[in-house]
Amino acid sequence: MQPSDYNQQPQPSPQQSTVQDRPQVVPPMQATQPPMMQENTPNKGLNKKVVYIALAVVGLLLLIAVLTIVLLSGDEPEPTVQQPAAVPSGTVPASGSSIEQINNAISQDVSAIDDADDFPEDQLSDDVLDL
Amino acid sequence: MVWASRLAFCSRNACFGVTVMVKSINKMIANKKVLLIAAIVLLGLTGGVAYAQTAPQPTPAGSTFEQRLAQRKSERTITLDDKDIRRIESRCKGSQSTLITIQQELAKTIEERKTQHLKIDGKLWIAIGQLKIANQDTFELEGLKASYNKQVATFDDLTKEYTQAIDDTIVVNCVTDPQGFKAVVETARIYLQEVRKQSGVIRAHLLDSVKPALSKSGEKL
pLDDT for residue B55: 86
pLDDT-derived band at A35, boundaries 50, 70, 90: very low
pLDDT-derived band at A16, boundaries 50, 70, 90: very low
C-alpha span between B206 and B120 (Å, rounded): 9
Chain A residue with CA closest to B204: the answer is A110
C-alpha span between B124 and B209 (Å, rounded): 13
| Greater pLDDT, B167 or A15 | B167
Instruction: Tell me phi and psi for residue A130, to 5 degrees.
Output: 55, 50
Amino acid at B44: G
Residues of B in contact with A115 (CB under 8 A): 196, 199-200, 203
pLDDT-derived band at A89, boundaries 50, 70, 90: low
Average pLDDT over residues A2-9: 46
B98 touches chain A (CB under 8 A): yes
Average pLDDT over residues A63-75: 83
Q: Where are the alpha helices (DSSP H) in B52-133?
A: 65-76, 82-133
A99 and B195 within 8 Å at the Cβ level: the answer is no
Chain B residue with CA closest to A111: the answer is B203
Residues of A in contact with B116 (CB under 8 A): 109, 112-113
pLDDT for residue B219: 92
B165 touches B187 (CB < 8 A): yes
B125 touches chain A (CB under 8 A): yes
C-alpha span between B119 and A112 (Å, rounded): 12
C-alpha span between A83 and A85 (Å, rounded): 6
CA–CA distance from A64 to each of A67, A78, B31, B181 (Å)?
Answer: 5, 22, 101, 66
Task: Please report which helix (H) or strand (E) contains residue A23, including its range.
Answer: helix A22-75
Whether A8 shows a pLDDT value over 70: the answer reads no
B89-108 in b/e burial notation, b at 16+ Cβ within 10 A?
A: eeebeebbebbeebeeebee
Q: What is the pLDDT along chain B (221 residues), one digit of tens a residue?
A: 444 444 444 444 444 554 555 565 566 555 666 555 555 554 444 444 344 468 899 999 999 999 999 999 999 989 999 999 999 999 999 999 999 999 999 999 999 999 999 999 999 999 999 999 999 999 999 999 999 999 999 999 999 999 999 999 999 999 999 999 999 999 999 999 999 999 999 999 999 999 999 999 999 88
pLDDT for residue B54: 80
| Greater pLDDT, A41 or B46 | A41
pLDDT for residue A70: 86
pLDDT for residue B221: 86
C-alpha span between B218 and B200 (Å, rounded): 26
pLDDT for residue A40: 52
B188 touches chain A (CB under 8 A): yes
| Greater pLDDT, A102 or B22 | A102
B92 touches chain A (CB under 8 A): yes
C-alpha span between B169 and B117 (Å, rounded): 28
The DSSP 8-state label assigned to residue A1 in this structure reads -
Question: Domains of chain B: which residue ranges?
Answer: 2-219
pLDDT for residue B215: 96
Chain A residue with CA closest to B163: the answer is A119
pLDDT for residue B218: 93
C-alpha span between A19 and A40 (Å, rounded): 34
| Greater pLDDT, B110 or A86 | B110
pLDDT for residue B31: 63
